[in-house]
Amino acid sequence: MIRRLFSALGSEYDRALRRLLGWFTVAALLQGTAFVLLVPVLRELLGGEPDRAWPWVIALAALWIGYAAVNYPATLAGYRTGADLSRYLHHRIGDKVAQLPLAWFTPDRVGGLGRLASQRVVDIMGVPAHLLRQLVDTFVTPLVVVLAMFLFDWRVAVSMAVAAVAVAVAYRAVGRGMQAADRNADRIHADAAGRIVEFARAQPVLRAFGRTVDGHAALDEALTAQHASGRGMLRAGMPALVGLGFIAQASFIVLLALGTYLALDGSLGTAELIGLLVLAARFVEPVMLTAELGGAIRVAENALTEINTLLVTETLPEPQVTRRANGADIELDGVSFGYDGDAVLKGLSMRVPQGRMTALVGPSGAGKTTVIKLIARFFDPDAGTVRVGGVDVREMRTEDLTSVISVVFQDVYLFDGTILDNVRVGRPDATDEEVYAAARTARVDDIAGRLPGGWEAPVGEGGSRLSGGERQRISIARALLKDTPIVLLDEATAALDADNEHALRQAVAALARERTVLTIAHRLQTIRDADQIVVLADGAAAETGTHDELLAADGHYARYWRERSRAAGWRLTRRDTFLRQSSPTGTA
C-alpha cells in the first residue's frame, strides 16, 4: 500500500516521504516498546521489592522522552510535506491545464477539474500529514506488542497474532468493494459538478426561452445519481466498518478471557495480567483505526489515480528543436480535420499571402473557425500540413508560434479587471504609454470615456459590462500591443450601432496595416476590401480570388454575395458595384 502511494506521488517526493516514514517508524517502535515495559514495571511494583522497579521506570521515562523528541519534529515534517505537496500538485495541475488541447475541456471535465484541484489535492495532502503516521502506528505498534508478548506468555502472543491476521484478511476482503464504490462516486460527483457548471452557464438561454424548469432535468438526474452513489458508498462501507470493529472487539474479549483464565489457573501473575490488558487495549486501538484508515487510504489512492490520469493526458507534442517562422505567410496543404470523427475539413489547401488581408467566407458550420484554430495550433490536423512562415507549425515550439500570431476571437473573454489590465494582457511588460497607444488606436478610449472610472473602470466577469463590439475592440488593442506580423480575426457578428461599427472598422484597419490578416469576414465592407477571398464549402476552398474576380466567375461567391447583400439591404448597380441602401450597420 505504501509502495503504491510512493509510486503515485512520483520521484520528486520519494526522498521526503521515505524520511518521514523513517521518523514515524522510529516513533512507533519507541512507543510500542514503552508500552511493553509496563509489564516489568508493574511486576516489580506489585512484587515484594518495589525498589527493583526503578531501572524499568527510568528506561520507560527515557523511552517516552525519546518518543516525544522524535514525534514532535516528525509531526511538523508531516504537515510541512503535506503543504509542499499541495503546492506542487496545484502547480503541476495548472501547468498541465495550460497545455491540454482545447478539445479536452468538456463541461464534465471542467467540473471534475474543480474537484480535482480542491478536494482531491486535500485528500492527497493528508497522506504525509496524517495517514502515513497512522498507517505506521497501525502496523508497527501491534507488531512490537505481539513480539514482546512472546517474552511473557506465548499463548497470549499467538492469540494476538491470530487476531491480527484475521483483521488483515477481513480488511482486504472488504477493501476492494469500497474502492470500486469510491471510484464510481467520483465519476458521479464529477458528472454532477459538470451539470451544475452547464446549468449555471445556460441560465440566460433557459430564461430567455422560459425553460428554467426543463433545464433542471439533467441536473436533477445527476444529483439523484450522486445521492444514490452516496447511499451505495454507505452500503459498501458499513459492513466493512461493522465487520472490522466486530473482529477487533472480539479479539479484545478473547484476550481478556484468555488472560483471566490463565490468571485463575495460576500460570499468569497479577502484574502480567494488568500489563496484558493494557497491551491488549493498545493492540486493539490501532486495529480499530484501520477501518477508518482503510477508507481514507482508498480515497487518497483514488485521488492519486485521478491526478495521475490528468497528468499523463496527452498534450500536443512539442518539437525537441524548434524552427522559427521565415516570413509571415500562411499555407494549409491538404488539411483534413474532424471533431470526434465528423470530418469538417477535407483536404483543404489555401494560401494567405504575407502583408495582405484574406477574407474567409462560407456558410455557417463550414469550418472557418476551425481553420483559425488549426493555424494557431489549438489542435493538430488529422492529415495535411499547416505552415506559418514556411514552417510546419508542429515543428515550432508553442512560444515561437504564439510570438508571431495574435488571435482575435468573436467571443472575446475579458478578465474581471480594469480596461487597462485587459489591454495589457497582450504584452504584460509593455509600458503604460504603449498600452494607452494601442488602446487609443483600437478606439478603446471611447469606451474608457463612456464608463465611470475611465481606464480604470472594471469590465466585469468575462467583460459583462461591455457590448460585443467593445469587447472585440479591447481584444484588437491586445493584438496591437502584442504587435505580431500575423493576425487571425473572427469578425464580430453582433449588430453594432453606427458609432461602434465605425470604431471597430477603424480598429481593424489599424490592425491590418502591414500585417498578414486572415479574417472570418461577416461584414460586406470587410469582404469587399479584402485583397483575397477564400470561399470555404464542403471542407475545401471552393473558390479563391478578389471580389471582382469571384463575382465575374458567377459561382458560389457570387450567389453568396447576392444573398447577403439582399439581406443587408444592398443593391447591385450596373457597374457591378454595391451601394448601401438601408442597413444602418452594414452587417451581413
Ligand X SMILES: Nc1ncnc2c1ncn2[C@@H]1O[C@H](COP(=O)(O)OP(=O)(O)OP(=O)(O)O)[C@@H](O)[C@H]1O
- Residues at the site binding ligand X, with contacts judged by CB under 6 A: 339-340, 344, 362, 364-370
If one counts every other C-beta atom within 10 angstroms of the C-beta of residue 316, the result is: 14
We find the least distance from the C-beta atom of residue 315 to ligand X, in angstroms, to be 17
We find the least distance from the C-beta atom of residue 520 to ligand X, in angstroms, to be 6
Sequence-distant (6+) residues with CB within 8 A of 512 are: 357, 487
Residue among 126 and 362 whose Cβ is closer to ligand X = 362
Residue among 298 and 368 whose Cβ is closer to ligand X = 368
We find the least distance from the C-beta atom of residue 461 to ligand X, in angstroms, to be 23
Backbone angles phi, psi at 453, to 5 degrees: 105, -15
We find the least distance from the C-beta atom of residue 338 to ligand X, in angstroms, to be 8
Backbone angles phi, psi at 211, to 5 degrees: -110, 30
CB 130 within 8 A of CB 79: no
DSSP-based three-state secondary structure for 106: coil
Residue among 132 and 524 whose Cβ is closer to ligand X = 524
Positions of E strands within 540-581: 540-545, 570-572, 578-580
The half-sphere exposure of 492 on its side-chain side, counting CA atoms within 13 A, is 26
Can you read off the three cell numbers belonging to residue 483?
504587435
Query: Grid cell 470530418 — which residue?
Result: 343
Residue type present at position 174: V
We find the least distance from the C-beta atom of residue 365 to ligand X, in angstroms, to be 4
As a whole number of angstroms, the distance between CA 459 and CA 457 comes to: 6
We find the least distance from the C-beta atom of residue 342 to ligand X, in angstroms, to be 7
Query: Grid cell 493526458 — which residue?
Result: 313
The H or E element spanning position 67 is helix 54-99
Alpha helices, DSSP H, located in 404-555: 419-424, 432-441, 444-450, 468-482, 498-512, 524-529, 547-553
CB 491 within 8 A of CB 523: yes
As a whole number of angstroms, the distance between CA 477 and CA 487 comes to: 12
We find the least distance from the C-beta atom of residue 348 to ligand X, in angstroms, to be 11
Query: Grid cell 495541475 — which residue?
Result: 93
As a whole number of angstroms, the distance between CA 278 and CA 283 comes to: 9
The H or E element spanning position 330 is strand 330-339
Neighbour order of strands in the sheet with 342-352: 342-352, 330-339, 383-388, 391-392
We find the least distance from the C-beta atom of residue 173 to ligand X, in angstroms, to be 45
We find the least distance from the C-beta atom of residue 372 to ligand X, in angstroms, to be 8
We find the least distance from the C-beta atom of residue 96 to ligand X, in angstroms, to be 20
Residue among 28 and 366 whose Cβ is closer to ligand X = 366
Residue among 48 and 365 whose Cβ is closer to ligand X = 365
Can you read off the three cell numbers belonging to residue 453?
472610472
Strands 357-361, 342-352: pairing kind: unpaired
Residue among 225 and 588 whose Cβ is closer to ligand X = 588
We find the least distance from the C-beta atom of residue 519 to ligand X, in angstroms, to be 12
Positions of E strands within 78-184: none
As a whole number of angstroms, the distance between CA 283 and CA 261 comes to: 20
Phi-psi region of 519 (alpha: psi -120 to 50; beta: other; left: phi over 0): beta
Can you read off the three cell numbers belonging to residue 62?
527515557
CB 111 within 8 A of CB 195: yes
Residue among 11 and 364 whose Cβ is closer to ligand X = 364
Residue among 262 and 374 whose Cβ is closer to ligand X = 374
CB 144 within 8 A of CB 33: yes
We find the least distance from the C-beta atom of residue 370 to ligand X, in angstroms, to be 3
As a whole number of angstroms, the distance between CA 382 and CA 348 comes to: 12
We find the least distance from the C-beta atom of residue 354 to ligand X, in angstroms, to be 24
Residue among 262 and 504 whose Cβ is closer to ligand X = 504
The half-sphere exposure of 426 on its side-chain side, counting CA atoms within 13 A, is 32
Can you read off the three cell numbers belonging to residue 426?
497582450
We find the least distance from the C-beta atom of residue 367 to ligand X, in angstroms, to be 4
